[in-house]
């Protein structure tokens, strides 16, 4: 039911 | 212990069982110079005589010496020699022997201490290095003390800056005061100069009038009140005297001047008190702008509670990057700290503070913004009843 979260900005990406 | 009259007998004379000391003594005599060896027999013969005389008194000693004289006690010999008065050669040689032993012992001792020091310092250095390494890597005590010291340093810097500001303000006020004084002085000078100039001008005018009258109109300038002054020459002189004695005309001028002389004083007072005030305002403005800039540099805008927006979670959110993101449960309330990313650009991930006090980023489409303060209370009631 929850929507897909929007694309992560650079500072939140783990890689 | 022993006197010159009754010398102590030599050990090898009183007891034959002490072989080791005897050998030592013989080696001693071998080390002597030829001169000392020449002097030795005479003394020995004397001593042997005296020893035979006093033998009964000291006979019991060798037995005690024998019983306690172990193998390694040969070094008691130099002491016996040193204490007795056998003469200079005997006295000196045992001491020299003793010093040789002492030297060798000292050398061994020195060697021991040398090694000890070396190893000790090596281990100490190693341990110290290890401790330093641990301190640098540990982010606990070292870091916190570092931060504390930095805080203290910055505090001292701020106080020093404030003191310097006060000092400079004082200096500026002082300087402005003296500038004002000098300006007033200059005005005084100007007034004097103008006064003297006009005084000269008046005298010139008067002289020209006199000249005109003397030359019957060919030189100089005609006086304005020519018709009147023709008849009364004395009136002009009286006027001039009045002017010089600061009579009625001048007294009127003085009164008016005294009236307006409050203006520069007021201006001066305003400058003295207004300048520091303006400076203070300027500095506070600078400080506030500086703090805002500093807080923005940290990536978080200054939080104004009255403008703070609140939001409620629409869905559960499980953070993929727990260091930056924060977990949400459906219906949780949170305060929106920033709708921008750390670089200040608009973002789809907002920085929020949840009820637990955790601060992190969450996707904007998982929450709904609560518009007004009244609505917050309403929502609070809803959550309480549920």
Q: Tens digits of per-residue pLDDT, B266-297?
A: 888 888 888 889 989 999 998 888 766 555 54
pLDDT at B170 over 70: yes
Tell me the average pLDDT across B122-146.
50
Can you give the pLDDT at residue B111?
40
Per CB-CB distance under 8 Å, the chain A contacts of B322 are none
Can you give the pLDDT at residue A15?
59
B10: left (phi over 0), alpha (psi -120 to 50) or beta: beta
Rounded to whole angstroms, the Cα distance separating B114 from B205 reads: 111
**Using alpha carbons only, what angle is made at residue B113 by residues B108 and B117, rounded to the nearest 5 degrees?**
150
B349 near B362, Cβ under 8 Å?
A: yes
What percentage of chain B reaches a pLDDT higher than 70? 45
Nearest to A6 among B315, B320, B365 (CB): B365
pLDDT, one tens digit per residue, over B179-194 is: 999 999 999 999 988 8
User: Is the reported ipTM for this assembly greater than 0.95?
Assistant: no
Per CB-CB distance under 8 Å, the chain A contacts of B320 are 14
Out of B22-31, B49-58, B236-245, the most confident range is B236-245
DSSP state, B325? Answer: B
Out of B19-28, B136-145, B204-213, B342-351, the most confident range is B204-213
Radius of gyration from C-alpha coordinates of chain A: 10
- Choose, out of B347, B352, B360, B367, the residue to mutate when testing the contact with A (most A CBs < 10 Å): B347
pLDDT at A7 over 70: yes
B78 near B98, Cβ under 8 Å?
A: yes
Residues contacting B162, CB < 8 A, separation 6+: none
Can you give the pLDDT at residue B260?
55
**Contact yes or no for A5 and B342 at CB 8 A:** no
Nearest to B315 among A1, A10, A12 (CB): A1
- Res. B161 pLDDT band, cuts 50 70 90: very high
Torsion angle, CA of B92/B95/B97/B100, rounded to 10 degrees?
A: -120
More confident: B28 or B157: B157
Out of B33-37, B160-164, B188-192, B330-334, the most confident range is B160-164
Question: Domain B308-368 carries which CATH code?
Answer: 2.30.30.40
Tell me the average pLDDT across B65-80.
44
Per CB-CB distance under 8 Å, the chain A contacts of B349 are 6, 8-9, 12
B151 CA: distance to closest CA in chain A (Å): 29
Q: B33 vs B21, B45, B92, CA distance in Å?
A: 21, 19, 12
Can you give the pLDDT at residue A2?
67
Residues in chain B: 386
B349 CA: distance to closest CA in chain A (Å): 7
- Res. B59 pLDDT band, cuts 50 70 90: low
More confident: B367 or B299: B367
- Res. B374 pLDDT band, cuts 50 70 90: low
Q: What is the SS3 assignment for B59?
A: coil
């Amino acid at each position: 039911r929850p929507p897909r979260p929007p694309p992560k900005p650079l500072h939140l990406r783990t890689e | 212990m022993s006197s010159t009259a009754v010398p102590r007998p030599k050990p090898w004379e009183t007891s034959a069982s002490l072989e080791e000391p005897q050998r030592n003594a013989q080696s001693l005599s071998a080390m002597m110079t030829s001169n000392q060896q020449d002097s030795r027999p005479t003394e020995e013969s004397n001593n042997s005589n005296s020893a035979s005389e006093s033998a009964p008194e000291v006979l019991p000693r060798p037995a005690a010496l024998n019983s306690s004289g172990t193998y390694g006690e040969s070094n008691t010999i130099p002491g016996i020699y040193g204490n007795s008065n056998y003469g200079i050669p005997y006295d000196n040689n045992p001491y020299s022997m003793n010093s040789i032993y002492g030297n060798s012992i000292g050398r061994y001792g020195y060697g021991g201490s040398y090694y000890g020091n070396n190893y000790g310092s090596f281990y100490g250095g190693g341990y110290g290095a290890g401790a330093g390494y641990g301190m640098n890597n540990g982010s606990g005590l070292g870091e916190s003390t570092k931060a504390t010291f930095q805080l203290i340093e910055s505090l001292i810097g701020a106080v020093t800056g404030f003191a310097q500001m006060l000092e400079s303000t004082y200096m500026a006020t002082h300087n402005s005061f003296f500038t004002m004084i000098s300006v007033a002085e200059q005005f005084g000078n100007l007034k004097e100069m103008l006064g003297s100039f006009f005084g000269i001008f008046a005298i010139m005018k008067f002289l020209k009038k006199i000249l005109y009258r003397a030359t019957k109109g060919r030189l100089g300038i005609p006086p304005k009140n020519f018709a009147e002054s023709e008849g009364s020459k004395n009136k002009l002189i009286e006027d001039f005297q009045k002017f010089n004695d600061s009579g009625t005309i001048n007294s009127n001028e003085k009164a008016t001047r005294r009236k307006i002389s409050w203006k520069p004083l007021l201006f001066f007072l305003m400058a003295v008190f207004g300048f520091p005030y303006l400076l203070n305002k300027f500095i506070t403005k600078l400080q506030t702008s500086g703090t805002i800039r500093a807080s923005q540099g940290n990536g978080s805008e200054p939080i104004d509670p009255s403008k703070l927006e609140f939001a409620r979670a629409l869905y559960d959110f499980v953070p993929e990057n727990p260091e930056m993101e924060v977990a949400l449960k459906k219906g949780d309330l949170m305060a929106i700290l920033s709708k921008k990313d750390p670089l200040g650009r608009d973002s789809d991930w907002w920085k929020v503070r949840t009820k637990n006090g955790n601060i992190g980023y969450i996707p904007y489409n998982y929450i709904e913004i609560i518009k007004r303060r009244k609505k917050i209370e309403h929502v609070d009631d809803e959550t309480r009843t549920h």
